Amino acid sequence: MRETGNAHPRPYHHGDLSRALVDAGRRILEQEGAAALSLRAVAREAGVSPAAPYHHFKDKTELLEAVAHEGWEALGEAIAEARRTAVTPGDALSDIGIAYLRFARENPALYRLMYDTTRDRTAMPQTAHEDESGYANVQQALVEAGANPDQQELALATIALWCAAHGLAEMANFKEFAELKTAMGGEEPFLRAILRHYGVFHGHTTH
Amino acid sequence: MRETGNAHPRPYHHGDLSRALVDAGRRILEQEGAAALSLRAVAREAGVSPAAPYHHFKDKTELLEAVAHEGWEALGEAIAEARRTAVTPGDALSDIGIAYLRFARENPALYRLMYDTTRDRTAMPQTAHEDESGYANVQQALVEAGANPDQQELALATIALWCAAHGLAEMANFKEFAELKTAMGGEEPFLRAILRHYGVFHGHTTH
DNA sequence: CACTCATCTGAACGGTGTCAACATGATCTT
DNA sequence: AAGATCATGTTGACACCGTTCAGATGAGTG
């Protein structure tokens, strides 16, 4: 029942197949899109038979969840770094927002998969409840930016921000916004302007 | 090249098959979930061979777009009614938000399909640019609530609101929020509290 | 009536997720 | 060292999927 195993134990026949499968899944997802992400394609890419993955994941769903999990970790790191490198605590929130949106824009298929799988389970990703997670970082940044520290109010503010960022991430590249974007001098000003509408962002230092 | 045809012209063999197909698709979507929504299942449900739909839709995608289109119309009506029945212009915005969220909660599979198809086309639904659309209603409600009437600023505010509502709609039933919801006395107070965080909502009249 | 042509059917193709039966070989026990 | 164990991988099959194509059907038009 042990999970995946440690780093390089070079196990039985293939050599950490589960890892190879997840990597293959991620590559297919980024390069060929979600439509091409079939169990068989992943097995093909990893050089094994179509049935081999079933010794590591009970389902196609479970494989996809593993891929999504890596996505959540990467997103969490992007957020943590944005907070770490922010000039002032006041900048941190909008910098986090921009980092979040950049991640979604640079990994669109992965980002979408992440929310598809979490929605199917009607639960936040596991990482979202750990200390190093994106959620915790947003919450702390809120506190440092002077938000109401009451626990319930703080939870509401964090959720509100997260939802807004997610919605924006999914809609930001509608064609209809192109005109508005150029009128505002690019995509980042457009995004920052919308973030500012949520009332919690003050950031003006941009790059 | 004419679209679907009018109400009851009782055409060739089946009798407005395209309509029957869209209805079947919607029923399958609501009752059996998105995973069961196959072209063949829709044809089966409509009592027709698997190849028949191809005389009305060039693709499975095109069928799904037709289903999604009905969803956008229904959502637009829900928003229009919420605005119409709001007690004061100040209530309209939060009432619209609640109506939006209720629609998403009551038709989760349809709501998801709606955004899947629109995201694939990287374009807002057609309805979103018509006068009777949800977008226009939100924009007008914003004006009546005293928002900045500058056109660019107004567009930004509308987009910001729409994105926030969408993000909230997709995340609102994460298990992790259950505790917070009951602590606040139900789901609607929870939703209204989050909407209030977006700074544009004042509503307190609830039902 | 004969003709046309949109509409529907039947059968087929390659692709998919999944499973059961079998092969393989690393590790553990003796 | 030999043999047993058992996780791992393969082969082949099943049902279902989206899609296409040749042919049947039958409503409307001349």
Nearest-CA residue to the C1' of C19?
A: A51
Residue A73 to chain B, least CA–CA distance (Å): 19
Q: Looking at residue B127, what is its pLDDT? A: 67
pLDDT digits (tens, 9 = 90+) for A106-153: 999 999 999 999 888 888 877 666 777 889 999 999 999 999 999 999
At B133 the pLDDT is 85
pLDDT in tens, chain B (207 residues): 333 333 344 455 667 899 999 999 999 999 999 999 999 999 999 999 999 999 999 999 999 999 999 999 999 999 999 999 999 988 899 999 999 999 999 999 999 999 999 988 888 877 666 777 889 999 999 999 999 999 999 999 999 999 999 999 999 999 989 999 999 999 999 999 999 988 655 433 333
- Does B159 contact A152 at a Cβ distance shorter than 8 Å? no
Contacts of A202 in chain B (CB under 8 A): none
The pLDDT of residue A203: 38
B54 touches chain A (CB under 8 A): no
d(CA B190, CA A32): 40
Give the 3-state secondary structure of residue B64: helix
Kindly determine whether residue B180 and residue A152, on different chains, have CB atoms separated by under 8 Å: yes
Average pLDDT of A157-161?
Answer: 95
pLDDT of residue A165: 97
d(C-alpha B143, C-alpha B140), whole Å? 5
Q: What is the pLDDT of residue B177?
A: 94
Q: Count of CB atoms within 10 A of residue B61's CB?
A: 12
CA A68 to chain centre: 8
CB atoms within 10 A of CB B34: 15
Nearest Cα to Cα of residue A124 among A72, A63, A62, A70? A72
Q: Is the pLDDT of residue A8 over 60?
A: no
Residue B139's pLDDT is: 94
CA at B42, C1' at C12: how many angstroms apart? 21
DSSP string, B104-142: HHHSHHHHHHHHHHHHHTTS--GGGGSTTSHHHHHHHHH
Q: CA-CA distance, B13 to A187, in Å (whole number)?
A: 52
Instruction: Check if the beta carbon of residue B17 is closer than 8 Å to that of residue B52.
Output: yes
A58 touches strand D (CB under 7 A): no
Q: What is the pLDDT of residues A32-81, one digit of tens each?
A: 999 999 999 999 999 999 999 999 999 999 999 999 999 999 999 999 99
Rounded distance between C-alpha atoms, residue A88 and residue A136, angstroms: 18
Nearest to A165 among B112, B167, B176 (CB): B167
